[in-house]
Each structure stands twice: as structure tokens, then as C-alpha cells.
Structure 1
């Protein structure tokens, strides 16, 4: 049975000074209030007890100023439980007044920034979505808030691979989004394609932390996998142009697995349905929509023990001086977007539109 967001295991890093939390029932709480994390809490249980629409993902998005990951809870953390209309309770840290520090400027503000994205990545970027999708809306508002005098154009260039391979390196565009950043402090552990994301580009602050899930057919040999080592020997599919650095870190590379990729994002689930792959893994939000579109809700199992997170950013070539000088505009605007509460409203509206469609 496809389980979507019904539960979430908590992985806690004791080395970071966090307390290990054993899954247990969350205390009763109400929407539009604050909740203090106690031992035994998991984010999904807190969201369920408060009837938060969208479950743990909505609750996590509402508390990114407190939570580093949906998998990490710390006793004593105070979480804002969203109100029925999607707003946050009065006094939530996210609804404070943003800094009035002067907006940064670029060295040549008369020249418009060329910012590229692509379509077919709902709810994040898609030409058919309102405002071009969640992160497209965030980028536009961040530019407007960061420096209203800086002109910019957001362009949909639907060959995803060209963004990092040619468009940014040649200066055909100045920025590209949304791209995922590896752990660049450990670049020596990355394969060449993943390391290239660190060595050739600089990055904005994170716009959104995505949840990466693993899926298999219910009843398959991998349905009870508890660690990535349990996938050794599997045929694993991830869409083309997606990052692989998390797979590399988990040693899910040849010859431990047979790696399969497809051009179409939802092509992996067709291969799973046809028995040509054993496991599918990519961003949980579009993956869940692809499962529904394929009519596979009752035949796909989510391997929740393997769930991970990565963050999406704007990338700029290290050789593009103008783009690097403009990055502070994006970062300043993004900070204001988060402090004002507009960031969360964009997330909530975008996810709701995806579910309704």
C-alpha cells in the first residue's frame, strides 16, 4: 500500500547534542497554537494530532526557522501549528518584521539578470502553474524584495541538462534554479558530476528542503528495506538530470546496484510497473503526484526508513562576476520572504494547488 506521508521516523544525531527520541504518541494539541516537543515525539504524529493539512511536510515547512530537517526533533523545541487558513499563530518567529537594512546592489544594476529554470517539475517550477511554480515565485519575490531597482528576467529553458553544462558556464544565463547542492565540504567523496556542482558554481541560500523518498512495489523483495545496504543488488531508477550525490554517499552505485535513468520524470514509475526496475527514488512531492497519475497508489510502498532530505538553491558560475555580485540580492530578499511569513504562504498555496489538480 502506498503510504505517502502517514509516518516519519526520527533520526537524531547525539553527536550534535540532540536527544534520541523514540516514536510514541504525540500529546494533544490544537491548530493555530504552539507545541513544545517532548521525548517520543515524531513530526508526523504531531501533525496528525493537530489535523495539519498536508501532514508532517506542512508542519516542517511552517517551522524551518526551528527545524533543520523533518527527521530531527529536539526535546524543548517550540513548533508553530498552522491555523485553519494556513497562517501561523500570532507570535510565531516567522511572522516578525524583516530587517530594514539597505538592499544590496550589483555593480551594473542597469543590466538585467538572466535567470533560468525549466518546466515539468511541479509544484516547484512549471510553466502551467500560477507564477511558474513554488520556487519560481520565491525567486521572483526575493529579487523584488532584495533590490527593487535590479531588473531581471526569469526564462524557462526546458533542457534541464543544458543549465549546468553550457548555459551557466558560457554566460548565456546568469543564474539557474532549482538545483540541489551536495555537501561541498566533502567534495573529495563525490563523483565527478556531483563534485562539479561544488567546484564550478557558487550557490544561494537554500530556498526549500526537499524530502527524497524510495519506492518499490508492495510485496517486493525490497519492501522491508531498513537501510540503503538492503538495496544492494537492486535496479534503482532516478530521472535524468537529477543529482546522484546522495546515492554516492549511500554507496548506491555500480556494482552495488544497477543504476537506471529516464528522460521523463514519471518514467521511473512506468519502469517499476513493468517490472524493469526494483526501486524508484526522487523528490517525494512530485513522486507522490506521479504515483497518483499512474494509478499506482495501491501497489507502491514507500521505504520510509530510507527517507532523506536535500536543499535546492540558485546556482551561478564562479566565473560570472556580475551574477556573483547579485547573489546577495537573492539572499537578502529570501531572508525577508521568510521573516515576513510570505515564504510559508507560497509553500502552502503551491502544495494545495498541486493536490487540488
Structure 2
């Protein structure tokens, strides 16, 4: 990314309309599971209780379920609480999540909601550069509670080669990097760029030229949830219907701007 990225980012979110959602039961055999979707806050433009329709992913997930003949309410809760609630079967599903081996042991994953590029956001107060995961050795990476690090970085943390700081929310993480208390964070181009703008630290963050990786984001359903494969099959059918029409691109354009390089 060039140093001109910040001016284009200011159009990252577009405010439009409101969506009314009707909550309803899933099926009789799901009586022990709350017929409710959960997601986390402060993850613009994808999720947030202060965003139009709750953000791009919130609108997409609800509309995909509706296309499959099911309507659910959405609750915004801390990311870890929502994830744990889905894994235990308390909540029906959560989103959006990147696949990791640990998460795949806990939950079933939908078809991709969207594919995004992850970038390394670094402090202007550190000499760190990025050409590959090995550049993180001996550094401090920030990832909020409930956020997953890329597999290679998670392995470095487990081996003591990389220190992880985990504040309670994304804004705190961005400010830790901006002030030099952490060297970097890794996040998709939309959420990362928006978080930097909202934290008011544009001049204190620089972005690596090359992406860290391209990943997909998913809806998850706990493996212990009764009828989980059928729930996902219905959702995936609705998602495919949206993607095959103009609705998906319309939602994407309405909630985001193209993230600059």
C-alpha cells in the first residue's frame, strides 16, 4: 500500500436504511438451542451494532437465512462469549470467522461469505518490515481477545518466538500499535483500514506493501448443535442464491468501498 491509502479509506463505510428482523424457532429438536445468531461489535464494515443493518456480514447472513426460509434475530456480544456460546450449543451460529484448525475442531463452517486480503499494519515507531511471517520473530503482535492469529504466527507465540498482546477490543489494539507498545497487527484490508481511521491514528500506522494472505470469512455452527449440517446446508443454499443474483454485489458496494493499494 502507498502512503496515499488513507484518503481513499474515508469512504469505507456507507450508511443506508434499517433492516427489521423477525426472530423465530429453528425446529422442534433445537429447543435447547437459542434460535439466535450472535456476532461481535466494532468490526466495521462487517459487523457492529452502530452500523446500518448491523454491517455487511450481518445483513448478508440474515438475508441468506431468509432466502432459505428462516429468519433469526442477531445479538451483539463480545467475540469470545459469542464463540464459546456457539461451541457449547447455547447459540445457533456466529460470524464472521476465519478457518483455523482449532476452530474446525469446535464448529462446522459455511461456504465463504467473502474473500479478503489480510495485511500487516505496523507502527511508525518500529523498524519492523514485512516480507514474510519470519519477520515477526522477536516482535510483539496485537490481536484482541477472540481474534485468531494466522497459523504461522500462532505457532510462533506457542513456541515463545513471538509475544501476543490481547486487549479487549480492536480499537485498543490499534492504539497499542500506534504508540509502539506492539509492533503490528494483522487484519483484512477493510476492517484494518477502518479501525485505523476510527482510532484517529492514521499518521502512526503504516501498512505493508504485500498482503500477508488471502482468507475467507465464514458463518460457524457448533458441532454439538442438533441438526448442524442441515442448518448449514440451508444457509449455504440461501447464500448461493444471493451470490448468483445482483443482491450480493449490491450489498458489498453499499457497505464498503474498494480498499486501496
Give the match for residue 302 of structure 1.
207
Deviation at 1:254, TM superposition (A): 4.3
Give the match for residue 66 of structure 2.
144
Q: 1:118 to 1:306 in 2, by over 3 A?
A: closer
1:158 to 73, 77, 102: 77
What per-residue deviation string (whole Å, max 9, x for no partner) do you get for residues 302-355 of structure 1? 112352122111111112123432211110110010110211110110014x9x
Q: How does 1:26-45 map to 2 (within 5 A)?
A: none
Deviation at 1:267, TM superposition (A): 1.1
Distance (Å, rounded) in 1 between the aligned partners of 2:83 and 2:251: 27
Q: Structure 1 residue 199 and structure 2 residue 101: aligned? A: no
Give the match for residue 195 of structure 2.
290
Deviation at 1:2, TM superposition (A): 4.3
- Structure of greater Rg: 1
Give the match for residue 340 of structure 1.
245
CA contact (8 A) 1:116 1:163 kept: yes
Distance (Å, rounded) in 1 between the aligned partners of 2:119 and 2:158: 17
**Secondary structure class of the residue paired with 1:321:** coil
2:41 to 119, 126, 141: 119
* TM-score, scaled to structure 1: 0.60
Q: Structure 1 residue 172 and structure 2 residue 94: aligned? A: no
Give unpaired runs (5+ residues) of structure 1: 7-52, 58-105, 188-194
Distance (Å, rounded) in 2 between the aligned partners of 1:287 and 1:156: 23
Q: 1:107 to 1:126 in 2, by over 3 A?
A: closer
1:258 to 144, 147, 163: 163
CA contact (8 A) 2:38 2:74 kept: yes
**Secondary structure class of the residue paired with 1:262:** coil
What per-residue deviation string (whole Å, max 9, x for no partner) do you get for residues 81-119 of structure 1? xxxxxxxxxxxxxxxxxxxxxxxxx86599884222232
Deviation at 1:207, TM superposition (A): 0.5
CA-based RMSD of the aligned residues comes to: 3.0
CA contact (8 A) 1:266 1:287 kept: no
Distance (Å, rounded) in 1 between the aligned partners of 2:57 and 2:4: 26
The number of equivalent residue pairs is 241
